[in-house]
Amino acid sequence: MFILIDALDLVTPDPGLFIWTVFIFLVVFFILWKFAFGPISKALGDREKGIEEALQSAVRAKEEMANMKADNERILNEAREERSKMLREAKEAKEQIIAEAREKANTEYNRIVEEAQQQIDNQRMAALIDIKNQVGNMVLEVSEKVLRRELQDRNAQEAYTRSLVDEIKVN
Amino acid sequence: MKKIIQVVLSAILLLSAGSLMAAEEGAYNPKDFALHHIADANTWHIVGNVSIPLPVIVYHKEDGLAIFLSNKLPEAHHAEEVETEMAHEEHGMDMGKVEEGMEQEHPDMEAAHHEPASYKGYVMVHDRVARADGTAFLDLSVTKNVATLILTALLLIWIFTSVARAYARRPGQAPKGLQSLMEPLIIFVRDDVVKPNLGDNTERFLPYMLTLFFFIWFANMLGLIPLISNPNLTGNITVTMALSVLTFILTNVNGTKDYWMHILWPPGVPLWVKIILVPIEILGIFIKPFALMIRLFANITAGHIIILSLVGLIFIFGNAGESLGGGLGGALVAVPFTIFMSFLELLVAFLQAFIFVMLSALFISLAMEKHEHHHEEAVHH
């Protein structure tokens, strides 16, 4: 019974203490709100945001790096291709030049040969004409001689003509 | 080292002096001992006869405001005893008459008796200020609990403003020192206590919840320090009531239309159920913070009473300081148990702060909840 009465004292609110508690708590709350938990909460949020951004930018940097690497590889490949293409082209050009030169040489050769042939032909012709002329002259001379001898002896004339003709045939 | 020994020795001396005093005063009463220690007081009792007087601020309708230190107040308890003893001798009263006299506690009689032994009309009864004439008055004294409140407040402000300064000084960097001690706790309250309940409203309520958490936790921990006389702040029903009232106000101020509808006119329920449900719901508004108040008060008070009872064992076994052997035997039993209980109370101190804040957040979130099924129902009808 006494315990109950004493305990009743324990659970009886004290108005003075109530006022003090509410007052002090609210003062503490407002001070901490303005000068501690507000700024702390903001700082924590900012830091978390900063960390998140840093992580994201790291991921982005990694991606960029990968992209750059891919780009480099692509450029390298292109260069390599270009080089081989150039080499191929050079080779082709070389071959073409050689072929052209060969062709040109061929045609020149042919032309020179042809010209030489023609010249030879011409000279041969000239020679033939010359020979013909000379033969004609000789024939004329012979004929003249024959004609002169014919006037002396007919038989001898004929024999001589025959011998002359034989000589011509031999030639 | 020498100094420590000196302090310990003087503490033992003071303690023994105190127990000798107790022996002189009469048989050791563990119940009074425990209840006296967990009750509020107008002096800050340190050890033995050493106590710090606290300012008394009282207002009386006739006498007006009075402010003075509590050591000016005469002990009404002693005065009463002396007077009854004197009366006993003078009039030769028998035991029955004495009891009768004890029962005659009419205000007028008391006033007549104690008028000269009071200071400005006030006396000290069981370490609390009281009117000598027994009339009502408003007591705004800085009691032991109010002093502890102020101590807690200063501690909180000092610690957390310095932590906040650390954040301002080194923005975006890893915490250091006190900051790194408090940051996990702040994040714990934010992410594990407030956010699961309040979600998007976390930022709005976080300062209140953090203040509440650290206030209760620090007060709980201060109550575990023995040499400052275990201020039983959060084990005081008035303090827990004040804190619950704040949560109660926050809950109901933030209550949505849905919340009030659910209480005053629950939807989708037959009328006869409404008649039963509505009073229960209305009671529920008050029961929730009431439970908060009782839970914190009971847990902390229980812890204090257990520790005080264990310490009391020493005095019971030692027959209130008369038997040293008994006292030592009691100490042998009580000290390990008290150490164990103190560790347990350290856990309870944190746990109760956590529960109080979590339930506060939960109650507020329940009041702010918007019930989607309302709209669905409206569509169906």
Whole-model pTM?
Answer: 0.70
Q: Is the pLDDT of residue A110 over 70?
A: yes
Cα distances from B256 to residues B206, B253, B259, B262, in angstroms, run 20, 9, 5, 10
Tell me if A10 and B39 make a contact (CB, 8 A cut-off): yes
Separation CA B246–CA B356 (nearest Å): 12
CA distances from B165 to A35, B110, B156, B158, B283 (A): 9, 57, 14, 11, 45
Q: Which helix (H) or strand (E) holds B264?
A: helix B257-264
Taking the C-alpha atoms of residue A118 and residue A169, their distance in angstroms, rounded to an integer, is: 28
**Are A35 and B138 a contacting pair at CB < 8 A?**
no
Mutate to test the interface with B, among A9, A22, A28 (most CBs of B within 10 A): A28
**Would you call B345 exposed, middle or buried from its count of C-beta atoms within 10 A (0-12, 13-18, 19+)?**
buried
Chain B: nearest CA to A12, how far in angstroms?
A: 7
Say if residue A39's pLDDT is above 70: yes
Nearest-by-Cβ selection for B167 from A7, A9, A39: A39
Flag whether pLDDT at A87 surpasses 90: yes
| Long-range CB contact pairs, B172-178, < 8 A, 24+ | B172/A46, B172/A47, B172/A50, B173/A47
Q: Can you say whether the dihedral through the CA atoms of B38, B42, B44, B48 is positive or negative?
A: negative
Closest Cα in chain B to A14: B238
- ipTM (interface pTM): 0.77
Q: Which residues of A touch B164 (CB under 8 A)?
A: 35-37, 39-40, 43
pLDDT, tens digit (0-9, with 9 covering 90-100), for B283-303 = 989 999 999 999 999 999 888
- pLDDT for B319 equals 67
Contact assessment for residue A21 and residue B239, using Cβ atoms and an 8 Å cutoff? yes
What residues does each domain of chain B span? 55-141, 145-380
Most B CBs within 10 A among A1, A8, A17, hence the mutation to make, goes to: A17
Asked if B216 contacts B152 with a C-beta cutoff of 8 angstroms, the reply is: no
pLDDT in tens, A115-171: 888 888 888 888 888 887 887 887 788 777 777 766 677 777 777 778 878 887 765
How far apart are alpha carbons B290 and B247 in whole angstroms? Answer: 10
Nearest-neighbour CA in chain A from B211: distance (Å): 6
pLDDT per position as a tens digit, B343-377: 999 999 999 999 999 999 999 998 888 765 544 44
Distance in angstroms (rounded) separating the CA atoms of residues A24 and B149: 7
Residue numbers in chain B where pLDDT is lower than 50:
13-25, 78-115, 374-381
Helix (H) or strand (E) holding A77: helix A38-150
Residue A32's closest CA among B221, B161, B77? B161
- CB-nearest to B161 from A16, A24, A35 is A35
A136 touches B: beta carbon within 8 Å: no
Strand (E) or helix (H) holding B13: helix B2-25
Q: Which residue of B has its CA nearest to A40?
A: B164
Nearest Cα of chain A lies from the Cα of B140 at a distance, in angstroms, of 5
Give the whole-angstrom CA distance, residue A23 versus residue A26.
5
Tokens of A163: 């011998």
pLDDT of A50 higher than 70: yes
pLDDT tens digits, one per residue of A14-31:
888 899 999 999 999 999
Q: What is the pLDDT of residue A77?
A: 94
pLDDT for A142-158, tens place per residue? 777 777 766 677 777 77
